[in-house]
């Protein structure tokens, strides 16, 4: 992409400030970036919305078990809870608005419908539907509704251009860039707020928070999660890099030379969250918002490169020519179907048909079995043994469940073991790192060094406070120790919870001695 044109040299004169602020918010550009955000944002949500479709009655309506967010703050009945049929009709309308928003048909109306209904359904399900990205997206939808994102790359723009016979009059319209600027500022504030939150979370800097998240596969399968969770020191380094980037984003992304590097780092960061943390929708949402930084000069640069590529590869021109010919046949320029009134009527009729189809599909699904010959589904008694287990008092953790890992090495940095090994030499100082699982109580941990015949060589102990994630024990491999197999044994409450075997190699020079 090309770089944005440089602003005038900065001075302290108030007139210069006013000029720069006016140019920053009210410069006229074709809204390419907002058009791409308009197309990508609803597509990012499509999977989750379609996945919830069979359970609309259960999740959002008075027929099921909605969980309005306002109830958590004592504001009961702040929003109406509709019946199952009404919720299904509104949900079907929301899905249609999502599609028409993406293609840009009756763009502003589609954005208002989709944004309002998505906000409502998110508020009505504080258990699973409302998330960080849903809050971010509702702000984006508001700004998209205020923008002219349907002026380019949309069905509305295509219909408008077909009514103009003079090619010279078909230049793309330009509008003030303030909606895109607000999206950019909002994105920078989100990153800055995330950095402030992390600054108050010590376990983020130690890498422990990311390590446990990667091992759980809580969101979805993370291909690299298990691998990187074995290197908490690397996660700690990534944590510091993330904090620096999030703080610097809102200050650096406006400079032409830094814009692309900052956005590229952000894209890599969000892509890695998909592979390491199992996040799927959130990375797509955030990277979609990056297109708000796209300028008219960027699109012109990319278009010039694409036209050059088309001249080299004529096959790239075929899809566009075929689409143009098909459009001319289906909707000639003189056709009345391109008129605004007809387009509005088509939108209303389509919405009505989609709503009726959605209600009919839910009726035939018969979620509660009301139309079964056997009658409505009823709850079945739970097995007595299982019920007693669920209602029993909390059981204490087993001692071995309080330990996550026991590792051996000789180098440590930032409270993390760097090199894990199973073979040592005389003169090495073994670091035994016990990684402990939270939450737990304060522990007294014994760490023993035993030989191959399980005879005790030395024993050390320490308190492991509940707020710490790991404890370290040190053993000197003195020349008096015979080469051969040894073990590090970890005990809590007098019980052995872990044993790590290793081999000592080298030439002994004295009698057995140990610290």
- CATH number, domain of 466, equals 2.60.40.1930
Report the C-alpha gap between 306 and 226 in whole angstroms.
41
Report the C-alpha gap between 163 and 220 in whole angstroms.
48
Residue 394 placed within a domain: no
Domain of 417, in residue numbers: 401-505
Number of structural domains, the chain? Answer: 3
Residue 147 and residue 196 in one domain: no
Q: Which of 274, 301, 316 is the last residue of a domain?
A: 316
Q: What is the residue-wise DSSP string for 19-51?
A: HHHHHHHH-EE--HHHHHHHHHHHHHHHHHHHH
403 - beta bridge partners?
436
Residue 306 and residue 233 in one domain: yes
Half-sphere exposure of 402 (CA within 13 A, CB side): 24
Report the C-alpha gap between 473 and 470 in whole angstroms.
10
Residue 244 and residue 211 in one domain: yes
- Angle among Cα 47, 52, 57 to the nearest 5 degrees reads 160
Residue 131 and residue 209 in one domain: no
172, two tokens: 């793309």
Residue 114 placed within a domain: yes
Query: Smallest Cα–Cα separation from 486: which of 419, 408, 420, 411?
Result: 408
pLDDT at 284: 94
Look up the pTM and report it.
Answer: 0.84
Q: Which of 316, 350, 365 is the last residue of a domain?
A: 316
Conformation bin of residue 344: beta by default, left when phi > 0, alpha when psi is -120 to 50: alpha
Residue 297 and residue 434 in one domain: no
Whether residue 267 is preceded by a cis peptide bond, meaning omega within 30 degrees of 0, is: no
Residue 1 placed within a domain: no
pLDDT at 1: 47
Q: How far is CA 87 from CA 123, 129, 317, 354, in A?
A: 13, 15, 45, 14
Residue 328 placed within a domain: no
Residue 393 placed within a domain: no
Residue 153 and residue 236 in one domain: no
pLDDT at 109: 95
Residue 19 placed within a domain: no
Residue 155 placed within a domain: yes
Q: Which of 291, 316, 341 is the last residue of a domain?
A: 316
Residue 71 and residue 153 in one domain: yes
Residue 93 and residue 48 in one domain: yes
pLDDT at 423: 93
Residue 171 and residue 37 in one domain: yes
Residue 156 and residue 250 in one domain: no
Residue 353 placed within a domain: no
> How high is the mean pLDDT in each 10-residue block of the chain (515 residues)?
48 72 90 95 91 92 91 89 94 96 94 96 92 93 95 88 57 90 96 93 84 84 86 88 94 92 95 92 94 92 85 71 64 62 88 94 86 86 88 83 91 86 92 90 93 92 89 92 94 92 79 40
467, two tokens: 């707020």
């Amino acid at each position: 992409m090309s770089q944005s044109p440089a602003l005038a040299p900065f001075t302290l004169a108030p007139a210069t400030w006013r000029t720069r602020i006016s140019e920053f918010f009210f410069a006229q550009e074709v809204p390419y970036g907002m058009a791409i955000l308009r197309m990508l944002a609803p597509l990012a949500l499509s999977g989750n919305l379609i996945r919830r479709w069979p359970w609309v009655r259960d999740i959002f309506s008075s027929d099921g078990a909605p969980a309005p967010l306002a109830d958590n703050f004592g504001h009961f009945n702040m929003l109406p809870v509709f019946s199952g049929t009404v919720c299904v009709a509104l949900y079907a309308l929301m899905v249609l608005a999502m599609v028409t928003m993406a293609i840009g048909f009756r763009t502003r109306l589609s954005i208002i419908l989709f944004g309002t209904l998505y906000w409502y359904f998110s508020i009505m399900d504080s258990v699973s539907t409302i998330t960080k990205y849903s809050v971010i997206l509702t702000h984006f939808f508001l700004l998209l509704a205020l923008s002219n994102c349907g002026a380019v790359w949309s069905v509305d723009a295509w219909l408008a251009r077909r009514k103009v016979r003079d090619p010279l009059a078909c230049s793309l319209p330009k509008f003030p860039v303030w909606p895109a600027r607000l999206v950019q500022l909002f994105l920078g504030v989100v990153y800055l707020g995330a950095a402030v939150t992390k600054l108050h979370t010590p376990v983020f800097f130690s890498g422990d928070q990311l390590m446990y998240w990667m091992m759980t596969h809580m969101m979805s399968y993370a291909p690299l999660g298990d691998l990187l969770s074995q290197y908490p020191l690397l996660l700690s380094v990534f944590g510091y890099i993330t904090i620096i980037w999030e703080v610097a984003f809102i200050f650096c992304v406006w400079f032409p030379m830094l814009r692309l590097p900052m956005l590229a780092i952000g894209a890599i960061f969000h892509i890695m969250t998909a592979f390491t943390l199992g996040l799927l929708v959130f990375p797509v949402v955030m990277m979609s918002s990056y297109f708000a930084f796209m300028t008219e000069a960027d699109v012109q640069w990319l278009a010039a490169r694409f036209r050059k590529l088309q001249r080299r590869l004529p096959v790239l021109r075929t899809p566009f020519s075929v689409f143009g010919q098909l459009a001319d046949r289906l909707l000639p320029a003189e056709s009345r179907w391109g008129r605004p009134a007809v387009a509005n009527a088509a939108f209303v009729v389509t919405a009505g048909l989609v709503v009726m189809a959605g209600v009919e599909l839910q009726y035939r699904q018969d979620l509660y079995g009301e139309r079964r010959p056997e009658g409505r589904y009823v709850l079945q008694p739970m097995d007595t043994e299982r019920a007693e287990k669920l209602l029993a008092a909390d059981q204490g953790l087993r001692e071995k469940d309080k330990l996550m890992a026991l590792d051996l090495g000789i180098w440590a940095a930032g409270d993390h073991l760097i090199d894990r090994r199973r073979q040592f030499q005389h003169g090495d100082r073994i670091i035994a790192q016990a990684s402990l699982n939270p939450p737990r109580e304060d522990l007294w941990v014994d760490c023993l060094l035993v030989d191959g015949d399980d005879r005790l060589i030395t024993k050390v102990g320490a308190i492991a406070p509940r707020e710490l994630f790991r404890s370290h024990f040190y053993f000197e491999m003195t020349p008096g120790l015979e080469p051969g197999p040894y073990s590090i044994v970890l005990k809590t409450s007098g019980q052995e919870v872990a044993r790590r075997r290793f081999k000592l190699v080298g030439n002994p020079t004295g009698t057995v001695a140990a610290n």
